[in-house]
Chain A
Amino acid sequence: RKEVEQDPGPFNVPEGATVAFNCTYSNSASQSFFWYRQDCRKEPKLLMSVYSSGNEDGRFTAQLNRASQYISLLIRDSKLSDSATYLCVVNGYAGNMLTFGGGTRLMVKP
């Protein structure tokens, strides 16, 4: 089983749509969770941390379900500029290092 698993997509959605990504992780001792965004041929950048109670940043909402060991990212009112690969990141492996999922590609169409 992969340590951090994501559906690679691509998710093709029209502008204005709501889209959700899930990510599962295998280490029940993980304590820190993040979503990173990576644009085509660019470096990953932190989108948002994921807190136990769930958190929202504008159109983006992140949720954590410890019992089922998954985190989710919800994007409302999708924009063309949201097109990117979204990386799920979890700590707690190999000496508490951050481990990246393979990413989910989102393509928002006009």
Chain B
Amino acid sequence: ETGVTQTPRHLVMGMTNKKSLKCEQHLGHNAMYWYKQSAKKPLELMFVYSLEERVENNSVPSRFSPECPNSSHLFLHLHTLQPEDSALYLCASSQGPPGGGFYTGELFFGEGSRLTVL
């Protein structure tokens, strides 16, 4: 059983809907990430939180909005998505240095939320 759980596992939504993806990590890590995995493309880093502070990623459209209420939970709020946003969204966590920042060692991934936008 993975130490990072994501819900829902599958989501179908229309372009005008608002939905949220949820991620919870049970590993005591202090950094959490959202990645996007599209067919035939590398994993794309979307957002990073370290000690609940967000690293800005200007390349992600504003229709994706992350939220990190505490070090164990991460959300990705979705609104007015486009069909090309259909992909597997993976949450991950890692243990960074105590003072914050990112440890570039092992990432622990959840099983992903497969999103289809109609």
Task: Count residues of B near A (Cβ-Cβ below 8 Å).
Answer: 18
Q: What number of residue pairs across chains A and B have CB atoms under 8 A from each other? A: 44
Given contacts A43-B112, A94-B45, contact A102 B107 (CB under 8 A): no
B49 at the interface (CB under 8 A from A): no
Contact partners of A32 in chain B: CB under 8 A: 104-105
A98 at the interface (CB under 8 A from B): yes
B43 CB, nearest partner CB in chain A, Å: 4
Task: Count residues of A near B (Cβ-Cβ below 8 Å).
Answer: 23
Contact in complex: B43, A43 (CB < 8 Å): no
Complex formed: what's the CA distance from A8 to B109 in Å? 22
Complex formed: what's the CA distance from A60 to B108 in Å? 21
Contact partners of A34 in chain B: CB under 8 A: 106
Other-chain contact of A97, B2, B48, B105, B106 (Cβ < 8 Å)? B48
Question: Which of B105, B107, B112 has the most chain A CB within a 10 Å cutoff?
Answer: B107
Contact in complex: B45, A101 (CB < 8 Å): no
Contact partners of A91 in chain B: CB under 8 A: 104
B42 at the interface (CB under 8 A from A): yes
Contact in complex: A45, B45 (CB < 8 Å): no
Question: Which of A8, A44, A99 has the most chain B CB within a 10 Å cutoff?
Answer: A44
List A54-110 residues whose CB lies under 8 Å from chain B.
Answer: 87, 91, 94-103
Contact partners of A96 in chain B: CB under 8 A: 102, 104
Complex formed: what's the CA distance from A94 to B33 in Å? 14
Complex formed: what's the CA distance from A94 to B106 in Å? 18
Other-chain contact of A100, B43, B48, B55 (Cβ < 8 Å)? B43
Contact partners of A94 in chain B: CB under 8 A: 45
Contact partners of B90 in chain A: CB under 8 A: 43-44
Contact partners of A17 in chain B: CB under 8 A: none
Contact in complex: A97, B42 (CB < 8 Å): no
> 8 nearest interchain CB pairs?
A43-B109, A91-B104, A100-B43, A102-B42, A32-B104, A46-B106, A100-B42, A43-B111
Interface, chain B (partner A; CB < 8 A): 2, 40-43, 45, 48, 55, 90, 102, 104-107, 109-112
Given A32-B105, A44-B107: 14 more A-B contacts, CB < 8 Å: A8-B40, A31-B104, A32-B104, A43-B2, A44-B90, A87-B43, A96-B102, A97-B48, A97-B104, A98-B104, A98-B107, A100-B42, A100-B43, A102-B42
